[in-house]
Amino acid sequence: MKNISLDITKAAQFLNAGTVEAYEPKAKAAREALENATCAGNDFLGWLHLPSSLTPEFIAEVQACAGTLRAKCEVVVVAGIGGSYLGARAVIDALGNAFTWLVNDDRKNPNILFAGNNIGEDYLAELTDYLKGKKFGVINISKSGTTTETALTFRLLKKQCEAQRGKEEAREVIVAITDAKRGAARTCADKEGYKSFIIPDNVGGRFSVLTPVGLLPIACAGFDINKLVEGARDMEKATAPDVPFAENIAAQYAAIRQALYTQTGKKIEIIANFQPKLHYIAEWWKQLYGESEGKDHKGIFPAACDFTTDLHSMGQWIQEGERSIFETVISIETPNSHLDFPFDEENLDGLNFLAGKRVDEVNKMAELGTRLAHVDGGVPNIRISLPKLNEYYIGQLIYFFEIACGISGLMEEVNPFNQPGVEAYKKNMFALLDKPGYEAESKAIKERLANEK
Ligand code: PA5
């Protein structure tokens, strides 16, 4: 089986010869620190050997639970935010048909909806309205079990599910994925007798897609989680500490990112795709790299574009705006479908010169043309290529990005596995809402606002 590949030549040309190679010792030290658990954040390395440690029995248990939900539900709502939903959404969107989820497709898969990731009143009202009269189930995902967005959504969905199906039947279609012991989601699951899965203590949210957090929704959607894990496992081998730097694509990606950041002032990485299905892969990647590297007033800002769509909106800035960016393109070598550019008798648009070519050939020339134009405009370009869009290669891509993120964060000399900054908004919000226990913060924030008037 082929592996995904990495081409950094169009980025390395922006650096002096030998620069990337000069990062080898740092990349190697970071990779070994992960392996030996001697790095900052070493209590959150449960993801490192996750693919090779998942047993067939565990996968079968996830599949059995997915089977129950698939049999009993026309809609499954995944309630979760951040690392508790982006991985599942990324994989399901990448592998799913762009349109059949709108109707009940002939594969008899339940529609998978994502909620619990915002506090939009209209969104939630429209969701509950949509679910009226439908046989729906809920996967409630929260590691802490206390996240406001998810807890609010779960309250609404639990009530509605029980009202529509009765308490007994609701118990069969509500699943909790949470901490082994702590948090409201655990207490509720134990009290109600829901089927539940544990998010390991040593796996942070953004690294949790290969735990039940990602695997259960993905299996519910009808995708082969064995193949996904197999791909991740093969990438685990391909990026092991004993793989030479020149062949280790994760170390190479980490090294070129750090070289561009520290030596050429490229402070923004735009991840770009030429397949709209990859939109949420980019959203997942943004969280992975943003939360891991954006600390101590350092870190490459992770941004994302969908091409060619965004070439008609962001293309001007990328081509001629401030030269603070580099670009990483995720490319799919062979599409799963076959569609030719049609011939038209009248040729009013003058495009008959393309008639008979595969649509993907046109897309690939758009991709190559864009990469060359952006490089000419001063934007270093990295390319990650997947032979096909399927479970196996998405599994490879997930592990590739995770391990490269760990290496890159350690090379940047931050703890890639914590996220202290995400608490700041929550503290203010709870103070403003007079949450019990936040009395001092409430007083301080209200005084501050009064003084600003
Ligand atoms: O990466 C993270 O830790 C966060 O994005 C969390 O996943 C997110 O805040 C959700 O947290 P929880 O799963 O505790 O509800």
Report yes or no on 422 lying in a domain. no
How many other C-beta atoms can be found within 10 angstroms of the C-beta atom of residue 196? 21
Predicted confidence at residue 98, as pLDDT, reads: 85
Q: Is residue 82 part of a domain?
A: yes
- Give the percent of the chain with pLDDT over 70: 98
User: Which CATH number belongs to the domain containing residue 165 in this structure?
Assistant: 3.40.50.10490
Considering its fold, how many domains does the chain have in total? Answer: 2
Set 108, 181, 426, 446: catalytic member: 426
**List of residues 6+ apart from 82 with CB closer than 8 A:** 117, 205, 206, 287, 291, 422
Distance between first and last Cα of the chain: 64
The residue from 181, 205, 225 where one domain ends is 225
| Same domain for 275 and 172 | no
**Domain membership flag for residue 26:** yes
CA of 326 to the centre of ligand 1 (A): 28
> 113 and 143, same structural domain?
yes
169 with 207, same domain: the answer is yes
Nearest CA to ligand 1 atom 3: 205
Say yes or no: 70 and 148 in one domain. Answer: yes
Asked if residue 291 has its Cβ within 6 Å of ligand 1, the reply is yes
pLDDT of residue 105: 54
Same domain flag for 112 and 185: yes
Does one domain contain both 359 and 237?
A: yes
Whole-angstrom Cα distance, residue 430 to residue 433? 5
Query: Whose Cα sits closest to atom 5 in ligand 1?
Result: 82
Query: What contacts 294, CB < 8 A, 6 or more positions away?
Result: 301, 421
Residue-level pLDDT at 144: 86
Domain that holds residue 203: 50-225
Kindly state whether residue 421 falls inside one of the protein's structural domains: no
Position of tokens 């007798």? 193
Q: What is the predicted pLDDT for the residue at 423?
A: 87
Active site residue 426: yes
Q: Are residues 206 and 62 in the same domain?
A: yes
Question: What single letter denotes the amino acid at residue 61?
Answer: E
- Establish if 120 belongs to a structural domain: yes
Same domain membership, residue 298 and residue 211: no
> Which of 251, 73, 96, 81 shows the shortest CA–CA distance to 151?
81
Question: What pLDDT, on a 0 to 100 scale, did the predictor assign at position 317?
Answer: 97
Looking at the DSSP bridge assignments, the partners of residue 111 are 75
Q: Is residue 435 part of a domain?
A: no
pLDDT along the chain (453 residues), means of 10: 94 97 97 97 97 98 97 96 97 90 62 96 98 97 92 98 98 97 94 97 97 98 97 98 97 98 96 97 98 97 97 97 98 96 98 98 98 98 98 98 98 95 91 94 94 88
Domain assignment present for 88: yes
Bridge partner list, 39: none
312 given a catalytic annotation: yes
Q: Do 314 and 244 sit in the same domain of this protein? A: yes
Residue 252, ligand 1, Cβ within 6 A: no
Looking at residue 107, its pLDDT comes to: 53
Tell me, yes or no, whether 160 and 19 share the same domain. Answer: no
Cβ of 84 below 6 Å from ligand 1: yes
- If asked whether residues 145 and 234 sit together in one domain, one would say no
Q: Does some domain include residue 439? A: no
Q: Is 153 in the pocket of ligand 1 (CB under 6 A)?
A: no
Q: If you measure from the C-alpha of residue 204 to the centroid of ligand 1, how many angstroms do you get, rounded to a whole number? A: 8
Annotated active-site residue 49? The verdict is: no
Relative to the CA of 291, which ligand 1 atom is closest?
A: 1
Q: Which residue has the least CA distance to atom 9 on ligand 1?
A: 82
Q: For residue 277, how many other CB atoms are within 10 A of its CB?
A: 19
Hey, which of 47, 84, 292 would you mutate to test ligand 1's pocket, going by the most ligand atoms within 8 Å of its Cβ?
84
Rg (CA), the chain: 23
305 with 375, same domain: the answer is yes
Domain boundary, last residue among 225, 253, 269: 225
Integer angstrom CA distances of residue 314 from 120, 229, 266, 279: 27, 35, 17, 15
